[in-house]
Amino acid sequence: MEEVDNILIHALKQVGTEVSEEIDSVKQFSSELIVEAVVRCIRVIDSGLGSALPTSLPPGMSARFRVGMSLAQACQDIGYKGEIGYQTFLYSNEPEIRSLLMFLVEKLPREHAEASDQPAGKSVVLQRAIAAAIKAQLALPWLPSNCRLPLHGETQSPGALHSFHAQLLSSPHCTKGPGKTQLKVMKDYQQDILPPVTAQPSHHASVVASILEQHTAELSAAQEWDNEWNSHGLMSHLTPQEFRCRKLTRLRKRIKEQLHSAALPSPESAFGGPCSISDLSELLRAFRCAGPTGHMLTKGTHFTHTQKFTFTQEAAAVTSSIPTGHQSECDIQLCQQEELTSIQHQFQQLCSDVVQVAEDMKHMSVNYTQVLDELKQRELGNTEKEEKMQVKKKTINLLPDADNNLLKLQVLVEASAKRVVNLASQWEKHRAPLIDEHRRLKEICSNQDLESSRRLSEIKTLHDKIRVSTEEAKKKEEIYKQLVTELENLPQDVSRSAYTQRILEIVSNIKKQKEEITKILSDTKELQKEINNLTGKLDRTFAVTDELVFKDAKKDESVRKSYKYLAALHENCYQLVQTIEDTGTILREIRDLEEQIETENGNKTVANLERILDDYKAIRQENSALAAKIREG
């Protein structure tokens, strides 16, 4: 078994399993190592099946049972016919694990390229040493400079640390402008004036962060566009350019509506306090101001002029009431306080007047709208009445010559009736083919809608397949790169002839063992035949002797005694042979029991039972914790 275990361990190392040098037998495999070895082999055999399996056992017991069941199902899917379950991985059994690993190693794809038997040169040895050193350095975790130990300080350079600060970059994209002139100007700017991407950030340390940020933004924008086009763009039956134009038009319309609604002041927000208008209205008011004086360009109303005149008079009164320097400071403060109180009262009165005027204006606007509606309705009524009056006027003009006018009217009515009948017949002639054509076009349109919906569903399916295929291709490419790296890191100085020689030696030893077993079986058969012959000969000799002695025993007393001794001797010999056979049977049973004891000891039954008890206790603790969380929730 040592040779078999060595071959298995070597094969597991080749597929990427981390087997320590101290382990030289399958008996020393732990549950974690068994799970890792099985998953690595399954990933090499079937990458799609093994990609979803973890290479290590999770801490929770319920999750461990699920992982064990998944591994067992995966082994059965690739063709393993033996008895397997979660207990095979969690409570390992040496024979079962050895047979499972032998099956997986046999299922591994064969190598087509034979390794060279020639010894490696100095350059190859140096390259492998460099690769091993780099791999060891990459395996160490990165730590900040203030947390590094002397061991990490030797392998990790104390480079300068920079914060992630991204800046906006301008990269020369190939854009299609509305005209050749604009496109030429853009190209000239990108070629002559635009600096390189590495020179655009203010600090050189921000170059990588800025490039990563811009790349992430472009990638997310492209993904959002793909999602939007696949969800809404295809349903609109428009080209990508038309869909973008429609989206841009809608966005501009919404911005215009928002600005228009924000520019209209509402009474609640316009006159509610000292801050009389919103920020946007104030901004528009600032845009309408002219010069440094800040006067409004628009023509003021009578109300604004009245308020301005009143405020001017009050300001003049306040200015005239400024005390002179002969008055005391207390009198000045009292005057200022009284003036401030009166101004506040006046301001509150003005605010209430403004609110009242706004309500009056709102009421007047409603009345104005109602008056306009009544005016329109009266104009419509006047128009109808004018038409009726014209008809009555024409009728009155026809009354003096009523008979002739009636005849003329009858002739016109008959001619109109004939013309209507003629037009109806002509319409019927044209109507039938038009109805048929309408039905045919309607049917064609419905068929085209069905065809377009079918093609749209096919396009969506193709997009999904393309996305899935792209993801699979990326995963396979990553797996390919990983396998190539592992292949390059594998030792190439191992001679294939040594393994071939060991296999041949194992085969010759097996042949010798088979020959010895065959020889032992033939000797056993010969001995069994000899025993059967001697037993038959003894039985026949006893039967003849018994017959002869029994005849003489009737006549002679001494012969009768000898007959008794003969019968007793035969019985004792039979019991002795039976005892020897029973002893052999007991010895065989003892050997079988010893073998069973060794097998059970190899199966680690006691240790597995202890582990099962510990796992059972852990599961009960997890269940009690989950029940407590459920009760708290």
What SS3 state is found at 214? Answer: helix
* Closest by Cα among 48, 47, 35, 17 to 109: 47
User: Do 57 and 611 touch, CB atoms closer than 8 A?
Assistant: no
Residue labelled with tokens 């033939």: 522
Contact between residue 75 and residue 42 where contact means Cβ atoms under 8 Å apart: yes
Residue with tokens 């300068």: 160
Q: Give the up-direction half-sphere exposure of residue 77: CA atoms within 13 A in the CB hemisphere.
A: 14
Cα separation, 97 vs 602, whole angstroms: 12
pLDDT in tens, 200-252: 888 888 888 888 888 888 888 888 888 888 877 777 778 888 888 888 888 88
Q: What is the DSSP string of 346-376?
A: HHHHHHHHHHHHHHHHHHHHHHHHHHHHHHH
Cβ–Cβ under 8 Å, residues 167 and 141: no
pLDDT reported for residue 515? 92
Quick one: pLDDT at residue 264? 63
Q: Are 2 and 10 in contact (CB under 8 A)?
A: no
Count of beta carbons in the 10 Å neighbourhood of residue 29: 23
| Residue 143 to residue 151: CA distance in whole angstroms | 12
Alpha helices in 490-556 (DSSP H): 496-553
CB count within 10 Å of CB 194 equals 15
Helices within 53-121 (DSSP H only): 61-77, 86-90, 94-107
Q: Cβ contacts of residue 270 below 8 Å, gap of 6+?
A: 276, 277, 281, 358
3-state secondary structure 8-54: HHHHHHHCCCCCCCCCCCHHHCCHHHHHHHHHHHHHHHCHHHHCCCC
Q: Which residue bears the tokens 């041949």?
A: 504
Instruction: List, as one string, the DSSP characters of 184-250.
Output: HHHHHIIIIISPPGGGSSSSGGGHHHHHHHHHHHHHHHHHHHHHHIIIIIGGGT--HHHHHHHHHHH
Instruction: Name the phi and psi angles at 608, rounded to 5.
Output: -65, -40
Q: Which residues pair with residue 43 across a beta bridge?
A: none
Instruction: Answer for the pair 8, 101: CB distance below 8 angstroms, yes or no.
Output: yes
In this structure, the number of other CB atoms found within 10 A of the CB of residue 35 comes to: 23
Other beta carbons within 10 angstroms of residue 153's beta carbon come to: 12
Partnered with residue 337 across adjacent β-strands are: none
Alpha carbons 544 and 534: distance in angstroms, whole number: 15
Question: What integer pLDDT is reported at residue 144 of this predicted model?
Answer: 67
Percent helix, strand and coil across the chain, each to the nearest 5: 80, 0, 20
Q: Which of 106, 109, 113, 43 is nearest to 482 (CA)?
A: 43
The mean pLDDT values, 10 residues at a time, for the chain of 633 residues are 77 82 82 87 83 81 82 87 81 82 83 38 68 76 66 55 78 58 75 84 84 88 85 79 87 84 57 45 50 43 50 49 55 84 87 87 88 91 90 80 82 89 89 89 89 87 89 89 79 65 83 91 89 84 81 76 82 86 89 82 71 80 84 77
| Token pair belonging to 366 | 């409603």
Sign of the dihedral defined by the CA atoms of residues 52, 57, 63, 68, in that order:
positive
Q: Compute the C-alpha angle 608/610/616, nearest 5°.
A: 100
For residue 249 the two structure tokens come to 């038009």
Smallest CA-to-CA distance from 598 within 158, 94, 142 is with: 94
**Six-digit token pair at 506?**
């194992």
Residue 379 to residues 209, 373, 385, 390, 625: CA-CA distances in angstroms? 72, 10, 10, 16, 84
| Closest by Cα among 101, 91, 57 to 604 | 91
pTM: 0.32
Q: What are phi and psi of 109, to 5 degrees?
A: -65, 140
Burial of 233 (0-12, 13-18, 19+ CB in 10 A): buried
User: How far, in Å, CA of 407 to CA of 425, rounded?
Assistant: 27
CB 545 within 8 A of CB 566: yes
The pLDDT of residue 86? 79
Model pLDDT for residues 252-272, shown as the tens digit of each residue: 888 888 887 776 655 444 444
Q: Which helix (H) or strand (E) holds 613?
A: helix 605-632
211 burial via Cβ count (<10 Å: 0-12, 13-18, 19+) = middle
The SS3 call for residue 162 is coil
Please state, in angstroms and rounded to a whole number, the distance separating the CA atoms of residues 1 and 5: 6
pLDDT at position 158 is 53
Say how far apart CA 311 and CA 579 lie, in whole Å: 140
pLDDT of residue 271: 43
Using one digit for the tens of pLDDT, what is the confidence trace for 91-149? 777 888 888 888 888 888 764 333 333 444 456 667 777 877 787 777 777 766 666 66
Please report the pLDDT score of residue 149 as a whole number.
62
